[in-house]
Amino acid sequence: MKSDRSLGNRISIVVPVYNAQDYIRETIKMVQRQTYENFELILVDDASSDKSTEIIEGVKNEGDDRIKLIRTAVNKGAAFARNTGISAATGRYLAFLDADDIWKEDKLEKELAFLKEKNAAFVFTAYEFGDENANPTGRIVHVPEKLSFKEALSRTIIFTTTVMIDMEKLPKDDIYMPKIESEDTATWWKILKGGTIAYGLDEVLAIYRRPTKSLSSNKFSAIRRIWGLYRKIAGLSVAASLFYFVGWAVRATVRRL
């Protein structure tokens, strides 16, 4: 699909990069293969100590002016890197991608069409778990048609790499991520708590690479993070937190079977 280069239809893609030399070249090439071509790829290198920036510069020098590199002097984490990318975004639409995850080639095209069809501010899609080499495992996370704040509390189903936002409907100040653990989930809850409804496209358009020892696979860490979100971000009482926690635990277990 050929697309114009107008800002009104541009998708700004924000990618936090930290020691991603094993993935980043293919990540950039994957985005370049998207059927929707009106994008800017904002790569925020968070003070990597490997060859990530050299690889990015090498691809940039091949002449694609849609690729932008921002380098930070000190490592400050994914939330800071994403916020830096959000600040630099010039398009109307915003998408997130982690450096080691995979998009289907028509991800941007299909998701933007869905967002426009729903006249939505915030959409997300289904995804499939991949192994450490991003090979699909057959474990698919299906998503609901709509997701409200209360519904989101018991199902952390929004995968950041599948999110797309219309920044004419949600200003950047509403999208900036807090500098806490699970900053992405905290951001989605903050947006939904403000009354926005998220719309789900139940089609697998992304692969979630899951290394054997990933942060999200640490069960005790996940429990601590989700409990902290209930108390500090959602502002729930202990009783309400327990109620939603049980629902979250059941859904999280089923999703990983």
- The SS3 call for residue 144 is coil
Alpha-carbon distance of 174 to 165, in angstroms, equals 11
Residue 217 burial (CB count, 10 A): 12
Count of domains in the chain? 1
Phi then psi dihedrals of residue 33, to 5 deg: -85, 0
Q: Tell me, what's the pLDDT at 221?
A: 78
Q: Tell me, what's the pLDDT at 95?
A: 98
**Domain annotation covers residue 2:** no
Residue position matching structure tokens 């496209």: 201
Q: Tell me, what's the pLDDT at 138?
A: 93
Alpha-carbon distance of 146 to 88, in angstroms, equals 29
The CATH number linked to 185 is 3.90.550.10
Q: Range with the lowest mean pLDDT among 44-48, 72-76, 171-175, 178-182?
A: 178-182
**Domain annotation covers residue 207:** yes
Q: Tell me, what's the pLDDT at 152?
A: 93
Let me know: does 129 contact 86? Beta carbons within 8 Å. Answer: no
Contacts of 103 (CB under 8 A, 6+ apart): 30, 31, 34, 97, 161, 205, 206, 207
For residue 144, the enclosing domain spans 7-213
Answer whether residue 168 shows pLDDT above 60.
yes
For 197-212, what is the mean pLDDT? 92
For 31-55, what is the mean pLDDT? 97
Answer whether residue 257 shows pLDDT above 80.
no
Q: Tell me, what's the pLDDT at 184?
A: 95
Instruction: Name the residue with higher pLDDT: 210 or 73.
Output: 73
Residue 255 structure tokens: 């999703």
**Domain annotation covers residue 164:** yes
**Domain annotation covers residue 247:** no
Answer whether residue 215 shows pLDDT above 50.
no
Contacts of 26 (CB under 8 A, 6+ apart): none
For 157-183, what is the mean pLDDT? 95
**Domain annotation covers residue 95:** yes
Rg (CA), the chain: 18
Residue position matching structure tokens 């937190």: 241
**Domain annotation covers residue 226:** no
**Domain annotation covers residue 209:** yes
User: 42: part of which helix (H) or strand (E)?
Assistant: strand 39-45
**Domain annotation covers residue 224:** no
Alpha-carbon distance of 137 to 128, in angstroms, equals 7
